[in-house]
């Protein structure tokens, strides 16, 4: 029997969690100390030495973490093996430390925790303790004073590691069922014993001594007759005490409910607090309806909703939901309920935990409101941006339309001025007249350059510039630019020097845009250089298998530029100073256009200059390598010239009388038979009646325009189609694409250069079959 009782004591003590064991063990040590401290001297002498050995052995070997602490200094006087294992220090090292060395809180934080424990009526403290490996563990500390000698009192602390305190719910339910079974078994045993008051008194004392098996063994001889009964009573008391502590010490509000009657049958102190009641009895006197609002948040009556949740918990074992509550003073609040089924004395009961989530829901609602408000703001802002974008698109279309109209309206009369000037220069004018005609031609070219610059910068800013990828020869491009501007350089006695030895022989890129940038640089160099020379260089900066970054430079010995002016020189409409505009003219767009074009070609543009000594302007462009079999070509190869243009028949479609006169006089030397049409309908009629070798078609005409006239002519053609060249003042890419789509073959831009017009007409009048086959489809020649 003693062995069985010792085993029962061990089992009873073992099933308790470490925190409860620590509290009860501390209580037992204190009671034992007080008990033996009050023994008579003779009795103490007979058992004192074994008792001290037993107590020392229990302290050293017990699994609970225990420290003996000097109250005043906090120095650790002694520690057991469990403390050494937990903290990772040898006992000797622990005896050199103080409690402040292992407590991670400062003095102010420790005082705060003590006040918090007092306000929460806890008999333990919660501290973070630092271990030897510098890790932090959360512990519960149970402390009480003990008298080692009459003249010395120490503090005994039992430490419980609660870093992993909360058990999973299924383990908690299983353990609760074990406790219930144990309570039922012990209750049946106790009903057969002595008077309950006596048994409870004796059992309480025995429970404390039974928890320390070694201590009970030391006094076993004096209590052997009562041991069996007291051991059973101790287990019962321990089980009931643990169950009550587990239920009442929880920070969650816990309530037990009878699913049959729907009434509360038990609760803990946290539930009393959350319901705002005066006591547990006050909570148990309430009904679920009295703590709930009439309806839940979704509008369902609370009685129906409660029944549904109870049935779900009974069926599935667990139901988690939100519940709208109401306190006695009418205040409503929201709680999260975890309703769980369990068995007790053969009955099915429900226990629910309750958490006040009012603030959380309020915060979530505020976040939702903020999100909705933000979404509304974003939606409104999106509408505003869409409206602004639509307005910007409309403004951009209006600007494009305006520029196109302006271009047409300016280019059309310019065509007449340039053409008439050319015709007058052919009529053997006097030297004075020739000089004046030359000035007129220069002025018109200057005006045309301004117009082209404005249109170019508008295209670039509107992202309307599309780069072409054609086979080019950089050295040949430079030669063509020098050929175009060489006469102006010779007039000022300037030498033009070319060094393209470092440039690739051929590459793939946009030759038109490269020439445009070079013309801007070389034109400026000639304009701002009074004497000396101008050097044009090309070289590869970086190259790879796919491509190469080529740098083009134009160096002059001109007036130079001040550093502060150089910084803003590549901005639109900027020049070095206002006097530059007055002296040399220009819009200040050429350099801005050059930089934008270079950036479109994955390069950049810049300049270095020394005032009074000259400047070097450069730009870079990323060019692709040309196939090994490709022949270098900077522009389209000219079509074979016709051996003679006499007896060729040409249809000129032009609504402006002056432009008709200019074109007829220019083409007269070619010996052509020229028919005239002043609008699109007349052109369609003449093309149906006659066979033409070439048609020059104005695009913008009243009534039927050139595009519709071209489409009509193409629909009624029989046999080989006649080439149709657009005479257009519209230079935008969209206009050119529309011309090709309508069936035109090429473009002659207005105002057209007389020599260019004559060369183009000769090319398209070539009558060999190969050229005729080539002319059958649209081309980009212009």
Residue 548 region by backbone torsions, left for phi larger than 0, else alpha for psi between -120 and 50, else beta: beta
**CA distances for 110 relative to 121, 192, 396, angstroms:** 16, 50, 71
Within a domain: 632 = no
- Cβ atoms of 538 and 475 within 8 Å: the answer is yes
**Which has the closest alpha carbon to 290: 280, 279, 275?**
275
262 & 319 share domain = yes
Highest mean pLDDT (candidates 108-112, 326-330, 551-555): 551-555
222 & 298 share domain = no
Within a domain: 639 = no
pLDDT value, residue 148: 67
Angstrom distance (rounded) from CA 327 to CA 323? 13
Confidence band of 238 (pLDDT split at 50, 70, 90): very low
664 & 711 share domain = yes
pLDDT value, residue 602: 94
Q: Which residue has the higher pLDDT, 229 or 577?
A: 577
Highest mean pLDDT (candidates 53-57, 203-207, 384-388, 446-450): 384-388
Angstrom distance (rounded) from CA 194 to CA 569? 112
199 & 289 share domain = no
Q: How many domains does the chain have?
A: 5
As a whole number, mean pLDDT of residues 272-279 equals: 88
Within a domain: 458 = no
- Cβ atoms of 598 and 620 within 8 Å: the answer is yes
Confidence band of 1 (pLDDT split at 50, 70, 90): very low
pLDDT value, residue 214: 47
55 & 129 share domain = yes
Return all residues near 405 (Cβ < 8 A) that are at least 6 apart: none
What CATH number is associated with residue 615?
A: 3.30.565.10
Flag whether pLDDT at 592 surpasses 70.
yes
- Cβ atoms of 726 and 748 within 8 Å: the answer is yes
- Token pair, residue 309, equals 């949740």
As a whole number, mean pLDDT of residues 632-646 equals: 50
Angstrom distance (rounded) from CA 7 to CA 532? 117
* Burial track 286-313 (b if 16+ CB lie within 10 A, e otherwise): eebeebbbeebeeeeebeebbeebbeeb
Within a domain: 726 = yes
118 & 195 share domain = yes
426 & 574 share domain = no
pLDDT value, residue 329: 81
pLDDT value, residue 696: 96
Sheet containing 264-267, strands listed edge to edge, beginning at the edge strand earlier in sequence: 264-267, 253-257, 347-356, 332-344, 318-326
Flag whether pLDDT at 215 surpasses 60.
no
292 & 232 share domain = no
pLDDT value, residue 287: 85
Return all residues near 431 (Cβ < 8 A) that are at least 6 apart: none
Confidence band of 146 (pLDDT split at 50, 70, 90): confident
pLDDT value, residue 583: 46
Chain centre distance of CA 778: 48
pLDDT value, residue 629: 67
520 & 534 share domain = yes
Angstrom distance (rounded) from CA 683 to CA 697? 9
As a whole number, mean pLDDT of residues 634-651 equals: 61
- Token pair, residue 647, equals 């007896």
32 & 96 share domain = yes
Within a domain: 420 = yes
- Cβ atoms of 143 and 156 within 8 Å: the answer is yes
- Cβ atoms of 59 and 81 within 8 Å: the answer is no
What CATH number is associated with residue 760?
A: 3.40.50.2300
Q: Which residues face 348 on adjacent strands?
A: 343
As a whole number, mean pLDDT of residues 396-411 equals: 76
- Token pair, residue 294, equals 């009439």
- Cβ atoms of 528 and 601 within 8 Å: the answer is no
Angstrom distance (rounded) from CA 311 to CA 299? 19
What CATH number is associated with residue 171?
A: 3.30.450.20
pLDDT value, residue 669: 81
In three-state secondary structure terms, 677 is strand
Vertex 599 angle, CA 594 and 603, to 5°: 100
pLDDT value, residue 630: 61
Confidence band of 225 (pLDDT split at 50, 70, 90): very low
Within a domain: 450 = no
Which uninterrupted H or E stretch holds 349?
strand 347-356
Flag whether pLDDT at 323 surpasses 90.
yes
- Token pair, residue 561, equals 């530029």
Chain centre distance of CA 121: 50
pLDDT in tens, 482-517: 988 888 899 999 999 999 999 999 999 999 899 999
Confidence band of 53 (pLDDT split at 50, 70, 90): low
Flag whether pLDDT at 118 surpasses 80.
no
Q: Which residue has the higher pLDDT, 260 or 56?
A: 260
Angstrom distance (rounded) from CA 277 to CA 269? 10
Show the domain range for 277: 250-356
Confidence band of 345 (pLDDT split at 50, 70, 90): confident
Q: Which of 356, 378, 401 is the last residue of a domain?
A: 356
Which uninterrupted H or E stretch holds 341?
strand 332-344
Flag whether pLDDT at 9 surpasses 50.
no
771 & 704 share domain = yes
Return all residues near 237 (Cβ < 8 A) that are at least 6 apart: 200, 203, 204, 207
Is 430 exposed, middle or buried (CB count within 10 Å of its CB: 0-12, 13-18, 19+)?
exposed
Flag whether pLDDT at 319 surpasses 90.
yes
34 & 147 share domain = yes
pLDDT value, residue 552: 97
- Token pair, residue 108, equals 């102010």
pLDDT in tens, 528-555: 899 999 999 999 999 988 799 999 999 9
Chain centre distance of CA 656: 59
Flag whether pLDDT at 577 surpasses 70.
no
Confidence band of 401 (pLDDT split at 50, 70, 90): confident
Q: Token pair 């190869």 is at which residue?
A: 637
Within a domain: 782 = no
- Token pair, residue 125, equals 């403290």
Angstrom distance (rounded) from CA 574 to CA 585? 12
Angstrom distance (rounded) from CA 216 to CA 221? 9
Is 11 exposed, middle or buried (CB count within 10 Å of its CB: 0-12, 13-18, 19+)?
exposed
Q: Provide, rounded to the nearest whole percent, the portion of the chain with pLDDT above 70.
A: 74
Confidence band of 144 (pLDDT split at 50, 70, 90): confident
Prior bond to 751 cis, omega within 30? Answer: yes
Vertex 652 angle, CA 744 and 760, to 5°: 60
Confidence band of 572 (pLDDT split at 50, 70, 90): low
Q: Which of 216, 245, 274 is the last residue of a domain?
A: 245
- Which DSSP letter does residue 721 get? P
Angstrom distance (rounded) from CA 347 to CA 265? 13
Range of weakest confidence among 232-241, 429-438, 757-766 = 232-241
Q: Which of 625, 640, 667 is the last residue of a domain?
A: 625
pLDDT in tens, 685-733: 999 999 999 999 999 898 899 999 999 999 998 878 899 999 887 766 7
Angstrom distance (rounded) from CA 294 to CA 591? 80
- Token pair, residue 465, equals 């510039």
- Token pair, residue 760, equals 């183009």
Angstrom distance (rounded) from CA 384 to CA 392? 12
pLDDT value, residue 227: 53
**Which has the closest alpha carbon to 162: 23, 10, 337, 351?**
23
Within a domain: 285 = yes
In three-state secondary structure terms, 160 is strand
Confidence band of 149 (pLDDT split at 50, 70, 90): low
């Amino acid at each position: 029997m003693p062995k069985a009782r010792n085993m029962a004591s061990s089992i009873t003590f073992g099933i308790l969690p470490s925190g409860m064991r620590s509290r009860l063990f501390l209580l037992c040590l204190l009671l034992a100390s007080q008990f033996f401290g009050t023994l008579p001297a003779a009795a103490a002498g007979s058992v004192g030495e074994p008792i001290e050995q037993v107590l020392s052995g229990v302290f050293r070997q017990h699994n609970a973490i225990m420290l003996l602490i000097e109250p005043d200094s906090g120095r650790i006087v002694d520690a057991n093996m469990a403390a050494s294992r937990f903290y990772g220090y040898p006992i000797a090292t622990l005896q050199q430390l103080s409690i402040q060395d292992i407590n991670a809180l400062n003095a102010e934080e420790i005082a705060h925790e003590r006040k918090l424990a007092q306000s929460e009526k806890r008999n333990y403290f919660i501290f973070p303790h630092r271990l030897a490996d510098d890790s932090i563990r959360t512990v519960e500390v149970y402390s009480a004073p003990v008298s080692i000698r009459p003249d010395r009192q120490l503090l005994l602390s039992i430490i419980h590691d609660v870093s992993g305190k909360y058990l999973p719910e299924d383990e908690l339910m299983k353990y609760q069922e074990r406790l219930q079974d144990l309570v039922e078994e012990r209750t049946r045993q106790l009903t057969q014993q002595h008077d309950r008051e006596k048994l409870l008194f004796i059992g309480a004392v025995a429970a404390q001594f039974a928890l320390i098996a070694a201590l009970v063994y030391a006094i076993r001889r004096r209590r052997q007759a009562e041991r069996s009964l007291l051991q059973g009573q101790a287990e019962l008391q321990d089980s009931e005490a643990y169950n009550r502590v587990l239920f009442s010490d929880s920070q969650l509000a816990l309530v037990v409910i009878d699913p049959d009657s729907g009434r509360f049958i038990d609760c803990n102190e946290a539930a009393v607090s959350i319901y705002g009641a005066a006591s547990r009895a006050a909570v148990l006197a309430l009904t679920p309806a009295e703590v709930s609002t009439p309806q839940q948040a979704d509008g369902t009556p609370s009685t129906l909703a409660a029944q549904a949740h109870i049935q779900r918990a009974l069926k599935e074992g667990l139901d988690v939901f939100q519940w709208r509550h109401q306190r006695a003073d009418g205040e409503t609040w929201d709680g999260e309920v975890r309703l769980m089924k369990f068995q007790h004395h053969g009955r099915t009961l429900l226990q629910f935990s309750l958490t006040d989530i009012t603030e959380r829901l309020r915060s979530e609602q505020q976040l939702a409101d903020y999100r909705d408000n933000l979404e509304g703001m974003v939606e409104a802002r999106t509408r505003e941006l869409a409206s602004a974008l639509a307005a910007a698109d409309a403004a951009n279309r209006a600007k494009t339309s305006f520029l196109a109209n302006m271009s047409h309206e300016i280019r059309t009369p310019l065509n007449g001025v340039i053409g008439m000037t050319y015709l007058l220069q052919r009529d053997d004018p006097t030297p004075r007249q020739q000089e004046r005609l030359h000035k007129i031609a220069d002025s018109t070219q200057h005006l045309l350059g301004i117009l082209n610059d404005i249109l170019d910068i508008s295209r670039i800013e509107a992202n309307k510039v599309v780069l072409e990828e054609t086979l080019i020869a950089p050295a040949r491009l430079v030669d063509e630019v020098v050929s175009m501007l060489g006469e102006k350089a010779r007039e000022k006695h300037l030498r033009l020097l070319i060094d393209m030895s470092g440039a690739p022989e051929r590459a793939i890129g946009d030759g038109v845009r490269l020439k445009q940038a070079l013309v801007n640089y070389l034109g400026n160099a000639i304009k701002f250089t009074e004497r000396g020379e101008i050097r044009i260089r090309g070289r590869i900066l970086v190259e790879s298998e796919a491509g190469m970054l080529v740098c083009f430079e134009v160096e002059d010995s001109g007036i130079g530029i001040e550093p502060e002016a150089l910084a803003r020189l590549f901005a639109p409409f900027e020049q070095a100073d206002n006097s530059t505009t007055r002296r040399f003219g220009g819009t200040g767009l050429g350099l801005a256009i050059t930089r934008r074009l270079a950036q479109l070609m994955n390069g950049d543009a810049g300049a270095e200059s020394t005032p009074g000594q000259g400047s070097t302007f450069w730009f870079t462009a990323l060019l692709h390598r040309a196939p090994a079999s490709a022949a270098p070509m900077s522009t389209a190869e000219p079509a074979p010239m016709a051996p003679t243009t006499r007896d060729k028949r040409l249809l000129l479609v032009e609504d402006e009388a002056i432009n008709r006169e200019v074109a007829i006089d220019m083409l007269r030397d070619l010996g052509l038979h020229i028919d005239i049409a002043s609008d699109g309908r007349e052109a369609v009629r003449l093309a149906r009646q006659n066979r033409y070798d070439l048609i020059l078609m104005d695009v913008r005409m009243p009534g039927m325009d050139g595009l519709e006239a071209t489409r009509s002519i193409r629909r009624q053609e029989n046999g080989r189609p006649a080439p149709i060249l657009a005479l257009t003042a519209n230079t935008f890419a969209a206009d050119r694409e529309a011309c090709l789509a309508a069936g035109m073959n090429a473009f002659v831009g207005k105002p057209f250069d007389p020599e260019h017009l004559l060369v183009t007409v000769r090319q398209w009048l070539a009558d060999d079959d190969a050229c005729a086959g080539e002319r059958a489809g649209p081309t980009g020649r212009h």
